[in-house]
Amino acid sequence: MTVALFFIFGALTLGAALGVVLARNPVHSALFLVLTLVSVAVLFLLQDAQLVAAVQIIVYAGAIVVLFLFVIMLLGVDRPEQRTEPLRFQRPIALGLGAIVLAEILFLAGHRWATGAKTVHGVGLTGGHFGSNIERVARVLFTDFLWPFQITAVLLVIAVVGSVVLARRSGERPDPVPQDGGIP
Amino acid sequence: MIGAFTITSSYYLVLAAALFGIGAVGLLVRRNVLVMFMCVELMLNAVNLTFVAFAKALNDAAGQVLVFFTLVVAAAEVAVGLAIIVAIFRRRRAATADDLRSLEG
């Protein structure tokens, strides 16, 4: 069962990823991206990562791809792009570089990794006296990774402020900020 | 089903490598900036798959926690990147990488 699911959804992942790259219409690329993300979520489920799979569906397929589609429709760039090649030899060089990257990673994947050392009080995925997958992930996230977790909040605030500033129409100003508010 | 044939984590690593390669080639080949962003998402997903495969192989939940940080960075990157694309499109009326040859507005 697991073997069949792996091969079915592995093939679906790679096929849909090729669809993202090869589709001429950006909307079709976004829909192929949804298929890729859902297939990868199934692969997460096969590896005891239930919470990650759910978050993958909710955040990626539910929010990020919708954001992509929203921008595609907002900008009206859902026209197929032309096949002419402005830069000479770009595609052969790109394919060659991609093949080199793939060969490198496969070389690494086929060898023995220099890992295996776990944290002293590491929480395993199975066994132990912990409960579900959510409890295990939460226990690690809020103890060992608490500081990165809080830094993440800063990152998200910066991203929100940055995108608001960037996407605001530069011609018209909103209501003037009072100058004594500390903002020059 | 096929007797003793099981899926080890090497299968997932090879699959993630292929996904990463497809994303990298797409990033280099495509000219539409939105599709280039989607290819970046493909590469990030390949990395997530690698993290989960190692979490399973080493039996350590820290690998799955790292996936969440990758997700957060991907979301922030998409938000800022799409805002940049919208800002560029307002000025140039085009959204391909070839139109971005100069930094001046």
Helix residue ranges, H only, chain A: 2-22, 26-45, 50-55, 65-75, 90-109, 133-141, 146-167
C-beta of residue B77 within 8 angstroms of C-beta of residue B70: no
Nearest to B95 among A44, A75, A167 (CB): A75
pTM recorded for the entire structure: 0.84
pLDDT tens, per residue, chain A with 184 residues: 788 899 999 999 999 999 999 988 889 999 999 999 999 999 999 988 899 999 999 988 888 999 899 888 888 766 666 666 667 777 888 888 888 888 887 787 666 655 555 555 567 777 777 778 888 888 888 988 899 999 999 999 999 999 999 888 765 555 555 555 444 4
- d(Cα A107, Cα A174) in Å, to the nearest integer? 55
Query: Residue B102 CA to chain centroid, in angstroms?
Result: 26
Q: Is B28 on the interface with A (CB under 8 A)?
A: yes
Q: Which of residues 39-98 of A touch B (CB under 8 A)?
A: 40, 43-44, 46-49, 51-52, 55-56, 59-60, 63-64, 67-68, 71-72, 74-75, 77, 81, 86, 90-91, 93-95, 97-98
Task: State the smallest CA–CA distance between residue B92 and chain A in angstroms.
Answer: 12
Question: Does the CA dihedral A79-A82-A87-A93 come out positive or negative?
Answer: positive
